[in-house]
Structure 1
Amino acid sequence: MAYFVSSTTDQNYYFEDSIAYTEDHIRVRKLCWCDAPSKLEESTLCSHFAEFGHVLQIQTVRFEMDASMFQSGSVLYANDKDAARALMSTHMLNGVIFMVQPSDSWEQPDAYGTPEEEVNHQGPSPILALNDDCLEHIMAKLGLQDRLRFARSCLRFRAILQASASLHTSLDLIQFRRLTVWDIRDYFQLFGAHIQTLIGDFETEHSERLAEFIRDYCSSLRSIQVICNPQLGLHLHTMIANKSQLEELQLSNSDIDDEALFDLQDLSFAGGASDYSRSVYNL
């Protein structure tokens, strides 16, 4: 399912020659929208998006929050320039303006290469002839982002990188400062289950997604020792939700408000609900 961007300040795409690209330089053909009027029929939405070009697929999701209903979903275009026109336009139905953004890079049809690229690269690549030891040495020379993208190339490369997962028990969040959402997601898919300690500055352009990945993948997390900023206060509850093994929470130079701290009383720690005796707060 597409991810719905909650703020236009988090724009992670760009336009070039009338085509939209994600931050990972993937052509955009799939878009997602949020906060559309809840009573709209799928046929109405399809007609609306078809004004910009040929629609291959449309999906809708309805959420219920605070007794009010809103609708979100995704639309896939046959042509990338049609998707770009839809992305650049203002969308209004039944007098309500709703947001449209590109879906995540890995949800785009061309995320792992276009059919034309597959034709142009027929035959085995020379690097595949190397044994695993050689590939491990090559990966060791690469930076984190290059290692993640190298592993994204094929299942064999991914398995080689994942073999080092047990070494990734401690994570310094500063590593994510220049990574894209796709890179961060790959990191947690590969190593998240082994991470026991988070340290560093919780500062990234993708703070909301980072908090969600920590929640979803870091099942063994025991200690969080982070330097705070306002972004952390917005996502603290998400980040440490369902962390039954969490024993330590240190928030240095805290700049979060009381509301974020009150949210902690709803969390469950290893000793039971709201067992603060096992937690440390440096405010």
Structure 2
Amino acid sequence: MKTLTKHLKTKQQNDETIFVPYIMAGAQGLDQLESEISLLSEAGASAIELGIPFSDPVADGPVIQAAGLRALQKEVSLTKIIAKLKKIQTQTPLVLMTYFNPIFYFGLETFIQELQETNVKGLIIPDLPFEHQELIKPLLKESDIALIPLIALTTPKKRIVELVEAGEGFIYAVAVNGVTGVGREYQASLDQHLAYIQSISDKPVLAGFGVSTKEHVERFRRNCAGVIVGSKIVQLLSEGKTIEVEKFVKSVF
């Protein structure tokens, strides 16, 4: 069992809320990345998701898109991020969220080899279809890096079963139809959808997209193992409100 799967399943078995904050790597400059990871880790994050800046982020809402553009303007690249992560010591598992294009141009085999010199234990590639997972999954077989699936509200039940069976680390349940961002309205059927995915999954199911309040966390916690919070944390960090970030993360436990 891979480290991320074991780590999060232990929390789930202990009935702990799993909380995964998302940050855009390099949005405040790569020199701030280590302190941001330390802040979130010390506040109690179960794992930390790091976004890789990309020019065409199809799944990202305006706050995360803006953060990615700031990182790109600072000439932050996948190569520089990996080099930085090799120097960062943390006990909290890291999860990279990247589109396929940057890692394809980096070189898939080289990418996985380089990640194994970091504390990255999970990988999310939102634009890699399930049918094309074989482009990267064989390279992960001997690694300690989990390939995390995303399940949409519109995903048919047969496909949900396939994704759950193939997934590692955790199951990322997208809670809205659309892109990331705060202030989203959730469908009444979402609770049943999350409960179904968790009922057939032996791995934690985490709800993401639009999660921005303690009330959201409490609602989702009734039907799945935890949440992923991105835009709210990215916005607070962009405003230099690190104390507010710490307070928010601690408030959900």
TM-score with structure 1 length normalisation? 0.27
> RCO greater where, 1 or 2, for CA within 8 Å and sep 6 or more?
2
Greater helix content: 2
Greater strand content: 1
TM-score with structure 2 length normalisation? 0.29
Larger-gyration structure (1/2): 1
